Amino acid sequence: MQHLILGGGPAGIAAARTIRKAKSDAGIVIATDETEAPYLRPLLPDLILGEARDETILDPQGADLAEKGVRVLTGRRAVRLDMGNRKVDFSDGTQEGYDVLLIATGGKPEIPAALKKELPAIRVFDSRRDALGIKERAGLPGGAVVYGPGYLAIEACRALRGTKKKVVWIKPDLPKYGYPIAGELEASILDDVRNRGARIMEGDEIVHVWEKGPDTSVVLTRGGVEIPCSLVVIATERVPSVGFLAGSGVMVGMGVLVDDFLRTSAPNVYAAGDCAEFAGKPKKVGRINFGWRSAIKQGQLAGENMTGGNRRFGSEQENYFWALFGFSLLDRARK
């Protein structure tokens, strides 16, 4: 039985380990567009701060996959799912077949039109390479602008203030999906971010960015405020990476639609992690999966069900944002 897993993040790795535990003779392949060894994304802010190094952010769950007989294919981005022949086409022209498929492709940051520019100051906060680029750019004179509605923006502010960078957080309207940080929790976190010296512009947007000099750019907000800076960090929501499923027959909303068993609309095809969306639930409830801990739990459950299990996914709020970065978000903001 061949198990193909698309994605080498926490959900994909957790699924592979669970499948191997249940089936010692199962064929398991992980195909990922990453070219590096699996790493812990929640530690990327610490990489910016200099409190973590490349070797300390490696994901220990991915260290012994080869020893467990899991074949990992790097630099493989899925471009097409052929359900009729049970094959997946990849960007490098190769194909992989499967008996059971897990879609755990995660997501990519949603970039607003005003920030879709090739300017040295504009940096996306998503990968290890991004974090290293932000760290390097943070060494320049001048302040930083962080753009994003919530979790990742808080972490970006924390990291940049830790490098003594002057920070302006442009916090747009509520997230499009998932639970927003609200009420007393939001007030406490925003107070802590302000106490760290960051300025917060709530409900605003970036409408234009231009270069003013070799190391200086200017951000123009919807409210007409011009902010000179040397760094603009895009810390926005992650949009599920599901474009390759167009025309495949797998039902997709914002993400891959799944039931409580993480089954998609197609036979022998499952989905887990940031790319999954629970069918039949309101948009903000359907995206309850966002977060590192939740992705691991979903990967484990998907792996179990892919090998004959019949377990439902039970979401708990703590798996969403209370422990998004490994411990309380409020404690993280105060760190």
3-state secondary structure of 262: coil
Distance, in Å, from the CA atom of 150 to the CA atom of 92, rounded to the nearest integer, reads: 35
Half-sphere exposure of 299 (CA within 13 A, CB side): 30
**DSSP letter assigned to residue 275:** G
Distance, in Å, from the CA atom of 294 to the CA atom of 287, rounded to the nearest integer, reads: 11
The answer to whether residues 170 and 199 touch, using CB atoms and an 8 Å cutoff, is no
The answer to whether residues 267 and 242 touch, using CB atoms and an 8 Å cutoff, is no
Q: Which CATH number fits domain 2-107+239-319: 3.30.2420.10, 3.50.50.60, 2.40.110.20, 3.30.2020.30?
A: 3.50.50.60
Q: What is the mean pLDDT of residues 241-266?
A: 96
Contacts of 88 (CB under 8 A, 6+ apart): 4, 6, 31, 78, 80, 81, 82, 95, 96, 98, 101
**DSSP letter assigned to residue 113:** G
Percent with pLDDT over 70 in the chain: 87
Q: pLDDT at position 185, please?
A: 67
Q: Which CATH number fits domain 111-236: 3.40.50.1980, 3.40.47.10, 3.10.20.440, 3.50.50.60?
A: 3.50.50.60
The answer to whether residues 48 and 134 touch, using CB atoms and an 8 Å cutoff, is yes
Q: What is the mean pLDDT of residues 186-194?
A: 79
Q: pLDDT at position 179, please?
A: 52
Over 80: is that where the pLDDT of 320 sits? no
State the Cα angle at 236 between 230 and 238, rounded to 5°: 140
Distance of CA 48 to the CA centre of its chain: 17
Report the candidate in 304, 242, 294 with the shortest Cα–Cα distance to residue 273: 294
Over 60: is that where the pLDDT of 329 sits? no
The answer to whether residues 271 and 262 touch, using CB atoms and an 8 Å cutoff, is yes
pLDDT, one tens digit per residue, over 256-292 is 999 999 999 999 999 999 999 987 665 544 554 457 8
Any idea which of 52-56, 178-182, 202-206 has the lowest mean pLDDT?
178-182
**Could you tell me which residues are beta bridge partners of residue 93?**
none
Distance, in Å, from the CA atom of 306 to the CA atom of 18, rounded to the nearest integer, reads: 10
Q: What is the mean pLDDT of residues 14-34?
A: 97
Over 60: is that where the pLDDT of 193 sits? yes
Q: What is the mean pLDDT of residues 208-227?
A: 96
Over 50: is that where the pLDDT of 217 sits? yes
Distance, in Å, from the CA atom of 258 to the CA atom of 264, rounded to the nearest integer, reads: 5
Q: Which amino acid is present at 202?
A: E
Q: pLDDT at position 105, please?
A: 97
Half-sphere exposure of 236 (CA within 13 A, CB side): 21
Dihedral (Cα; 169, 171, 172, 178), 10-degree rounding: 130
More confident call, 41 vs 270:
270
* φ/ψ (deg, to 5) at 316: -125, 140
The domains of the chain are located at 2-107+239-319, 111-236
Report the candidate in 111, 98, 109 with the shortest Cα–Cα distance to residue 28: 98
Which residue in this structure is represented by tokens 């699924």? 15
pLDDT, one tens digit per residue, over 70-111 is 999 999 999 999 999 999 999 999 999 999 999 999 999 899
Q: Is there a shared CATH topology between the 2-107+239-319 domain and the 111-236 domain?
A: yes
Q: pLDDT at position 183, please?
A: 60
The answer to whether residues 3 and 270 touch, using CB atoms and an 8 Å cutoff, is no
Q: pLDDT at position 327, please?
A: 41
Distance, in Å, from the CA atom of 75 to the CA atom of 301, rounded to the nearest integer, reads: 26
3-state secondary structure of 239: strand
Over 50: is that where the pLDDT of 332 sits? no
**DSSP letter assigned to residue 150:** S
Q: pLDDT at position 78, please?
A: 98
